[in-house]
Chains A and B, each alone.
Chain A
Amino acid sequence: MKFMENFRKGIPLLILVLLVICPFVFSSPYLLHIFILIFIWSYVTTVWSYMGRFGIISLGHGAFFGIGVYTTAILFNLYNISPWLGMLAGGLAAAAIAVVLGYSCFKFGVIGHYFAIATLVLAEIITLVIIALRDTLETGGKLGLTVRSLGTSPLFFQFENQLIFYYITLALLGLALLIWKKIDDSKVQRALKAVGEDEEAALSLGIDVVKYKTTMFAISAFMTALGGTAYIQFTMFADPTTCTGVGLSLGIVFKAIIGGMFTLWGPTIGSALIVVLEEYTRLALGSAFVSYSQIIYGLLIIILIRFLPGGLHGTLSDLFRQKREREVQVLLSGRQLADPHE
């Protein structure tokens, strides 16, 4: 048992070491590209699940991602401000919007699917604003914008070597997972879990629901925008369909659902699956057929929500946990555990 316990704790470390060494073993630029995409989307999805796991479903994270992308790109293209500062500015802008929307929603009791709808509307508003600013701020409207290239310039977050992006995005993902853990161990987690289970009861126990939820929303939005900056510096091109809006928001939520939004590794597994699926169909069928992968993934969502609402990783780890609990129960010679879900 002890060995198994240590082994389970060691797995993340092992994966981390493997991922750090990985680029030296496979130096194919294409593979690196895929890994970077997986890291970025896993990062964003994990950050989304900070809220999602407590039942605060945001369908507006595409907006925060887009704010990160476009703030950075506009500040750099028009005013020559370093994307490192743009990253901070984008993050703060996203957090500010999250605070305003979150505070007013939570204050007035807009929760559950009403909150989802409110954030969905936000996603659409931000997309339209970006399109409407096509001339004023040179966002390029629906056609998208390209970031001025400086070659390699660490001060301006531009690197020709993909390896650097590999480590930057890996570090971001590591950070996101670490914060997930921190939240999981904190008081906030217990408070929000109580809120997720029964909002009114939690309220009556004196938990400042509005404050906790708004804070979590702001953190999540801030970090999502950082992911946007990393994305635009990597691809150097942005357009409203891929970088913001309802489609992207749904994409983030679906990746989390497929992997399982209630577990640490669920969002990462979901994102990896989806990115690989998209790349595979693109390679196998040609880029004109990307929509086929989207069809598969839409169907997958419907099937998963219908049969496995806990997501792939969530359901599997539930099964393992039940098995483990049964073993523990046998060990305790039939004494019942107080709460099998704790």
Chain B
Amino acid sequence: MLILNAVINGLLFGGVLALMAFGMNLMFGVVQIVHLAYGQFIMVGLYLVYLLTVLYHVPLLLSCALATIAIALLSVLCYYSVVKPLLKAPPINQLLALAGLWIVLENACLAFFGATYKGVQVVLPVLHVGEVYIAASNLIGFGVGLITLGLLYLFLNKTYTGVAIRAVAQDAEVSGIMGINSRTIYLITFVVGGALAGITAACFVPVYAVHPHFGSAFTLLAFIIVILGGMGNLIGGFIGAFIIGVVTSVSSTLLNPEIGQIIALLICLLIIILRPQGLLGVRART
């Protein structure tokens, strides 16, 4: 029963994880960049919600919306200041510059909010169906995650911009010939990715009290999922999120949280070495 409980909560949490990984995956797929500071954006989002709700008494939902917009703007700033000048640079330079951004954001939060846990008190009931206990926070996260991903699916498939984004992801050069300005598409991708980080942060509000070191944990988690599903493979990332949700949830119930994370990271390492194209990917013939 304990395991069933963990599996169900893990699956529900996987919904939020899918959302989180989707943003990073989208940026990798379209802009071909490993966004190492993505988790830090989520962390900043959590701090913004805390700042607005607790210190300025803005209603929770409104502050979540404002934080989402702010993170989208931060993402645009990141695009213009860090990513755009390095688009032509070797991938390792992009990675390191974004690692620099990671350090900046983490320490800015440390300097501004201090090293204590800051959280918004949200009292949510724990539902129980039969003998299974479900945290309502996980259920909300799952719902928001799925709805957002559904909207994104429509956006990517039914709108002109969405189709253009997918075209650039497939082949930036040819889509350029077709009259798509890849720079505009990159910018839109960063806006969407930033907004996704903001929404993820909003889903995390009832789950976590935030600490400056959480950013790196989020980045790594998103990373593991993206690698599991294959970098840039959106559906793979979606499935990977649920796998990781269940694995970490079950192993932290049975063993302890660190062992759960270690297992997830080991899986990730094995996949980088043995199947760099991800579980679902097709190995490109060389």
Interface on A for B, CB 8 Å cutoff? Answer: 55, 57, 59, 101, 104-105, 108, 110, 112-114, 116-118, 120-122, 124-125, 128-129, 131-132, 241, 246-247, 250, 253-254, 257, 289, 291-292, 294-295, 297-302, 305-306, 309
Contacts and interface: CB of A to CB of B under 8 A. Distances in A.
Contacts of B256: 132
Q: Chain B's interface: helix, strand, loop or mixed, by majority?
A: helix
Contacts of B34: 113, 117
A309 B101 contact: no
B203 interface: no
A320 to B, nearest CB: 24
B269 A306 contact: no
B268 interface: yes
Contacts of B268: 121
A113 B103 contact: no
B82 A302 contact: yes
B269 A113 contact: no
A247 B256 CA distance: 23
Contacts of B220: 120-121, 124, 246
Contacts of B273: 104-105, 108, 110, 118
13 contacts: A113-B91, A114-B276, A121-B224, A125-B269, A132-B259, A132-B262, A254-B100, A254-B103, A294-B104, A295-B107, A298-B103, A298-B104, A302-B104
A289 B86 contact: no
Contacts of A247: 103, 216
A277 to B, nearest CB: 13
Contact of B97 (A105, A124, A302): A302
B272 A301 contact: no
Given A110-B276, A294-B104, A300-B100, 17 more contacts: A57-B96, A105-B272, A108-B273, A110-B272, A113-B91, A118-B272, A118-B273, A121-B223, A121-B272, A125-B269, A129-B262, A132-B259, A257-B96, A291-B108, A294-B107, A299-B104, A309-B93
B103 A294 contact: yes
B129 interface: no
A120 to B, nearest CB: 8
Contacts of B213: 241
Contacts of A110: 272-273, 276
Interface in B254-286: 256, 258-259, 261-262, 265-266, 268-269, 272-274, 276
A292 B111 contact: yes
A291 B107 contact: yes
Given A114-B272, A253-B96, A298 B261 contact: no
Contacts of A295: 103-104, 107-108, 111
Max chain B C-beta neighbours (<10 A), residue from A105, A125, A292, A298: A298
Nearest to A113: B91
Contacts of B93: 305, 309
B269 A305 contact: no
Contacts of A128: 258, 261-262, 265
A113 B34 CA distance: 9
A113 B92 contact: yes
Contact of B100 (A117, A125, A299): A299
A301 B111 contact: no
Contacts of A116: 92, 95
Contacts of A125: 262, 265-266, 269
> For the side of the interface on B, what is the size category?
35 or more
A247 to B, nearest CB: 8
Nearest to B261: A128
A114 B272 CA distance: 7
A125 B223 CA distance: 14
Max chain A C-beta neighbours (<10 A), residue from B34, B99, B220, B224: B99
A118 B99 contact: no
Contacts of B261: 124, 128
B110 interface: yes
B89 interface: yes
B102 interface: yes
A117 B269 CA distance: 9
Contacts of A114: 272, 276
B91 A306 contact: no
A13 B21 CA distance: 53
Contact of B101 (A241, A297, A302): A302
Max chain A C-beta neighbours (<10 A), residue from B90, B94, B100: B100
B179 interface: no
Interface string B144-187: 00000000000000000000000000000000000000000000
**A-B pairs, 9 with minimum CB distance:** A301-B100, A298-B103, A298-B104, A132-B258, A291-B107, A294-B107, A291-B110, A291-B111, A302-B100
B125 interface: no
Nearest to A105: B273
B85 interface: yes
B283 to A, nearest CB: 11
Nearest to A133: B258
B197 to A, nearest CB: 19
Contacts of A59: 99
A309 B90 CA distance: 10
B269 A121 contact: yes
Interface string B112-126: 000000000000000
Max chain B C-beta neighbours (<10 A), residue from A101, A112, A124, A129: A124
A256 to B, nearest CB: 10
B47 to A, nearest CB: 14
